[in-house]
Structure 1
Amino acid sequence: MLVNVSYNDRKVTRKIDAEVGKPFTLKERWAIGGIGSPQLFITETSIEIRNLLILDNNRDQCNVELRPKGVVVRFRSRLETYALVIPFYKLSIYKGDLAIYSIYRDHHFIKVRADTKAVQKFFRKLLDYKADNAPTSIEDL
């Protein structure tokens, strides 16, 4: 689900919370060791996201927020902030050549450069959390 999260809209917030869960509490964030990624530089995206990013001349970058039932990938275009909301059962992450991570949900994808140890450590944490908490059967959804 690709949504504009620039404005404090309760309908959008409820949709995001229903799909990936409410944000972690401060105590849970400490226990996990942080829920946000470092700044990620976008190398390639699906066409719908690319059409949003080419509207300005800024450097294409995003960040990933870990949620109890998924992730939220946020990026900016002009003065708007967009979020790609991905529940764990639709999340696919691939590591490609030259330290490029690909984050997929259905027909949307974002490829980011993982050129630092902090980025690689975050993706390791994300994959471990997904393995421990992703639903194992249809009844778990």
Structure 2
Amino acid sequence: MLVNVSYNNKEITRKVDKEVGKPFTLKERFALKGIGSPKLFITESSPGIRDLLLLDNNLDTCNIEMRPKGIIVRFRSLLETFALVIPYYKLTIYKGDFAVYSIFRDHHFIKVRSDTKAIQKYFRKILDYKADNAPTSIEDL
């Protein structure tokens, strides 16, 4: 789900919370040693996201927030903030050649550069959390 999260819209917040869960509590954030990613540089993206990124001439960057049932990839275009909301059961991550991670949800994707150890460690954290907390049957969704 690709949504504009620039404004405080209760309907969008409710949809995002339903999809990936409410944000972690402060205690859970300390236990996970942080839930946010370092700054990620976008190298490639799906047509819908690319069209948004082409609207301005800024460097294409994003960040990822972990949630209990998924992740949120946020990026900016012009003065708007957009979020790609991905529940764990729809999340697919590939590590490609030349230090690039590909993040997929249905027909949306974002490829980011992973040229530092911090970024690689963060993606390992996401994959480990997904493996430990993914639903084991369809009733768990």
Per the TM alignment, residue 136 of structure 1 is displaced from its structure 2 partner at its CA by 1.5
Aligned length: 141
Q: Which residue of 2 aligns with 1:27?
A: 27
Aligned residues: percent identity?
Answer: 77
Deviations 1:5-32 (A, max 9, x none): 0000000000000000000011100000
Please, what is the CA RMSD of the aligned residues? 0.3
Aligned to 1:51: 51
Matched residue, 2:97: 97
Aligned partner of 2:110 in structure 1 is 110
Partner in structure 2 of residue 7 of structure 1: 7
Query: Structure 2: which 5+ runs fail to align?
Result: none
Shift of 1:116: 0.4
Q: Distance in 2 between matches of 1:26 and 1:55?
A: 36
Counterpart amino acid of 2:73? V
User: Which deviations, in whole Å up to 9, do the C-alpha atoms of 1:22-45 show, x marking residues without a partner?
Assistant: 000111000001000000000000
Q: Which runs of 4+ in 1 moved over 4 A?
A: none
Gaps of 5+ in 1: none
Q: What are the Cα deviations for residues 48-93 of structure 1, in whole angstroms up to 9, with x where unaligned? A: 0000000000000000000000000000000000000000000000
1:134 maps to: 134
Instruction: Please state whether the residue corresponding to 2:6 is helix, strand or coil.
Output: coil
Distance in 1, matches of 2:40 and 2:136, equals 30
